[in-house]
Amino acid sequence: MTGFGDARHQDERLAVSVEVRTVNNRYFKIVTKCSDVYAALEGEIEKIVREKISRGTVNVSIRVDRLAADEDFVINQAALKSYWSQLHAAAKQMQAPLALADISVLLTIPGVVSDERRRSVDVQADWTIIRKMLEQALEKLGVFRAEEGRSMERDLVTNVGIIADRLEQVIALAPQVVSEFRAKLLDRVRQLIADSNVTVADTDLIREVSIFADKADINEEITRLKCHIDQFHAFLKDKESTGRKLEFLTQEMFREVNTIGSKANNVPIAHCVVDMKAAVEKIREVLQNVE
């Protein structure tokens, strides 16, 4: 299920921003982007995310900017004096004027000014803030996904309702299948023996009708499909993640619908089967986004 959540924090010491994005995936996968100094926290980050999300690809982006303070930058006095002495000697040798302001150029040389911010990182102290922002971002993500989930639930209920409605029509039409076959069989037999002395025993006709009735019997498929529909509604009400359960159940529903279409040699039933298959396919599309 797709979603987005973010959270930000800033104080006199640092600025923290956390973004969490989710996209569809049959399994759980987490991708964390953060500074190398916080790489040790990835296990804790995944643990917190797993408490909220059980399926999908989760992209967690964490940015921490340490705000500069006077003590964060230190001049290497020895290096600066060495460079200045060498620069002064070179200027004297070349008889070039050297102003005191030129010393500022030396500050850009690597090693003259050291940034102490990375050395002073307290990962555990920062983790307290990062964790709070991560939890807030996940909370916003949950609100986003909940709204999307309600919309998908409405689509699922609508389509499973179509299946249930067409199934009731099939139940009403099922008894006609054998009756129509018996009438067609009798009519065909009468036409064939009308101009001949051949007779057909009633037991032979009954046997043929019985064989067809057994092949065209869809009562078991109807019963199973009704159970699947009831179970589908039950899963939708479950507060836990049911995406995989619903996917499996949808496969079973399609199997029963397909068998009904194959066994029931009846045009109106075939039309109902087409509608049910279309509804099942729509359910499958929606379930690709369900956790």
Does this model's pTM top 0.85? My answer is no
Same domain membership, residue 275 and residue 165: yes
Same domain membership, residue 279 and residue 202: yes
As beta bridge partners, residue 96 has none
Query: How big is the chain, counted in residues?
Result: 291
- β-pairing, 73-75 with 113-115? antiparallel
Q: Which domain holds residue 90?
A: 70-115
Residue 256 sits in a domain whose CATH number is: 1.20.120
Same domain membership, residue 233 and residue 193: yes
Q: What is the pLDDT of residues 217-264, one digit of tens each?
A: 788 888 999 999 999 999 988 877 678 889 999 999 999 999 888 877
Number of domains the chain contains: 3
Phi, psi dihedral angles at 272 (to 5 degrees): -65, -40
* Residue type at 77 in one-letter notation: Q
Same domain membership, residue 75 and residue 34: no
As beta bridge partners, residue 60 has 20, 32
In the predicted model, residues of the chain with pLDDT beneath 70 are 68-73, 97-103, 107, 112-120, 177-216, 241
User: In Å, how far are 10, 11, 240, 247 from 64, measured between CA atoms?
Assistant: 10, 12, 34, 40
Beta strands in the chain (DSSP E): 3-10, 14-23, 28-33, 56-66, 73-75, 113-115
Same domain membership, residue 107 and residue 153: no
Same domain membership, residue 78 and residue 57: no
Same domain membership, residue 79 and residue 179: no
Same domain membership, residue 277 and residue 156: yes
